[in-house]
Amino acid sequence: MVVISAIGQSEENASGRPIILDEIESSIETRKSLVRFYKWSDFVYESDEVAKFWEEIPDWSGATKGVPIANRQPVTEEPKQKGGFFSIFKRRPPPPPPVPVKTRQVKAGAFDIPTFRRDVNGTALLDENATGYTGFAKYKFFAFRTLYEVKNGWVERMKTWYPDGRQKEDYNFRNGKKHGPFQHWYENGQIEKFGNNRDGIPDGPFSMWYENGQKWVEQSYKNGKRDGYSIFYNEDGGERKRTAHREGKFILLEDWEGTAVEEKDAFKIVEKDGVSLRYLRYGIFPYSGTMSVTDDQGKLLKKETFLEGTLYKK
């Protein structure tokens, strides 16, 4: 194994982690393997029976989608009216007809497939009364193979695997939109993220992990917006920082620590709409933050987290 010291740095300022050529070369080879063109026979399957199943189901890898040739539709500005107040009585020219957007067909991505109802060949069905395909279909993109579970033309579930047969993604859909729990995995099999969607937007708990298995972030969404506490962790498991939101709006946090006697002087309870809310004595907003109560010797007696005046529970 070859080790290269950091260049242009003294020993005191050099990085604590040396650059290891073996790791760099391994990373390059991994990237090459992920971008090279794979045949269906190149993938690793659990058994010959599973390989035969994949061989027999429809292949939707050739499905296409139309994209605009230009980045956006040309915009024509209406000529400004001149002549002051009385110009409003003049006949205005009719608005120009809409400019048609020219499109070209390109390969549909794995997440483009579920957005339309499709027939057995993967062709999008624009007629609502057309009979959609029911069964399984496959899709291939470079080193990844995807399996679709389809009912009446709509994809209900999508699973993706790495070349070596380890699972990469698992998504649920409803009527063309992400709906239900989803998961991602790293190449080593460690879970990367877990969350939930409702009608195409994030809704519910969401978590991410480092590749070593330690929790990275823990947060929650409501109707597509962050709601509640977001806690971020270091790779060693220690808490790095936390933020708070209510329906996407940022909430300022103010942690407090003191004795039980000081707690009584520092906080007040305000009744609002039948709910008891905790405020700092001279605060104008309900209290958000972590309150730590200690005894006179500094021993922790209780530690509670509040969000907008109420005790926060995950």
Q: How many CA atoms lie within 13 A of 76 on its CB side?
A: 8
Q: Long-range contact list for 248-255, CB < 8 A, 24+ apart?
A: 248/224, 251/288, 251/307, 251/308, 252/285, 252/288, 253/288, 253/289, 253/290, 254/280, 254/287, 254/288, 254/289, 255/289, 255/290, 255/291, 255/292
- Find out whether 147 and 67 touch, Cβ atoms under 8 Å: no
Q: Worst-scoring range by mean pLDDT, 52-61, 93-102, 159-168, 227-236?
A: 93-102
Name every residue whose Cβ is closer than 8 Å to that of residue 186 and which is 6 or more positions away in sequence: 192, 211
* pLDDT attached to residue 79: 56
Q: What average pLDDT is seen over the chain?
A: 86
Q: Worst-scoring range by mean pLDDT, 14-18, 29-33, 129-133, 190-194?
A: 14-18
* pLDDT attached to residue 1: 29
Closest CA to 242 of 258, 257, 226, 225: 226
pLDDT at 87 over 80: no
Residue 83: band (very low, low, confident or very high) from pLDDT cuts 50, 70, 90? low
The Cα 83–Cα 228 span in angstroms is 56
Q: Which residue has the tokens 């942690």?
A: 255
The continuous run of DSSP H or E covering 260 comes out as helix 260-266
* pLDDT attached to residue 66: 86
- Find out whether 152 and 158 touch, Cβ atoms under 8 Å: no
Residue 8: band (very low, low, confident or very high) from pLDDT cuts 50, 70, 90? very low
pLDDT at 11 over 60: no
Neighbour count for residue 114 (Cβ, 10 Å): 23
pTM, whole model, 2 decimals?
A: 0.76
Q: What is the DSSP letter of 255?
A: -
The partner residues of 140 in beta bridges, in order of sequence, read 145
Neighbour count for residue 279 (Cβ, 10 Å): 17
Helix, coil or strand: residue 92:
coil
Q: Worst-scoring range by mean pLDDT, 98-112, 207-221, 242-256?
A: 98-112
